[in-house]
Chain A
Amino acid sequence: DQQVKQNSPSLSVQEGRISILNCDYTNSMFDYFLWYKKYPAEGPTFLISISSIKDKNEDGRFTVFLNKSAKHLSLHIVPSQPGDSAVYFCAASEGPWRGSGTYKYIFGTGTRLKVLA
């Protein structure tokens, strides 16, 4: 059972326009969410995070929105650049694992973004 889903396997956007990547989850206990970008032959690069006490978090061109009632989050990239072309993963966690302060994440299936010049 896939608890974290990215229903769009791919997305193409024109350079300069907005890219919107979506992520849905089924576990209402998820409270912490991360977005990663992954280039081929590299490890995932952390982009931005959000916890359930907020519904929006911004970092430069990247904004993440969380709709907890809909169990949905989205990553907005504005403006999109050709260097943003990569696979994007969302990840979700219930919170500190066994009181350790460490978070275990479940990852979505990824969306391949292509930004056209």
Chain B
Amino acid sequence: SAVISQKPSRDICQRGTSLTIQCQVDSQVTMMFWYRQQPGQSLTLIATANQGSEATYESGFVIDKFPISRPNLTFSTLTVSNMSPEDSSIYLCSASGDYYEQYFGPGTRLTVT
């Protein structure tokens, strides 16, 4: 199974600013995924990041708000731009395992004031 780390683990940010979340995987993976879990809600897929190409965003999420980079097979970043209190969530990255399972990082707890 892949071991995934995220930085920062939590942050408190002011409205209108941006935060970049880093995700590091201990092995090379083709696809990485970014999810959001709003308070009391399920996990919602934001986008899928493939190395060397632009991320593919799910309905309701746009690149201007959530730009993603995937510079190599072990690393990705998600930026939450021009934040508002509604962006307060846990942001999670994941990567595929050997078969069809996915493994998650510990998450980044974001609070926007």
Contacts and interface: CB of A to CB of B under 8 A. Distances in A.
Contacts of A89: 42-43
Contacts of B27: none
A103 B45 CA distance: 12
Contact of B107 (A32, A36, A43, A102): A43
B111 interface: no
Interface residues of A, number: 26
B48 A104 contact: yes
A63 interface: no
B103 interface: yes
Interface residues of B, number: 26
A91 B35 CA distance: 13
Interface string B1-20: 10010100000000000000
Given A42-B106, A42-B107, A103 B41 contact: no
A46 B102 contact: yes
Most A C-beta atoms less than 10 A away, residue of B33, B42, B96, B104 = B42
B102 A34 contact: yes
A11 to B, nearest CB: 17
Nearest to B96: A102
Contact of A32 (B4, B41, B100, B106): B100
B31 A100 contact: yes
A100 B52 CA distance: 14
Interface string A1-15: 000000000000000
Ordered nearest first, which 6 A-B pairs have the shortest CB separation?
A43-B104, A102-B31, A107-B43, A43-B106, A107-B42, A109-B42
Interface of B: 1, 4, 6, 30-31, 33, 41-45, 48, 50, 92, 96-97, 99-107, 109
16 contacts: A34-B100, A41-B109, A43-B92, A44-B104, A46-B1, A46-B97, A46-B104, A89-B42, A100-B50, A102-B30, A102-B48, A102-B96, A104-B33, A104-B48, A106-B45, A109-B42
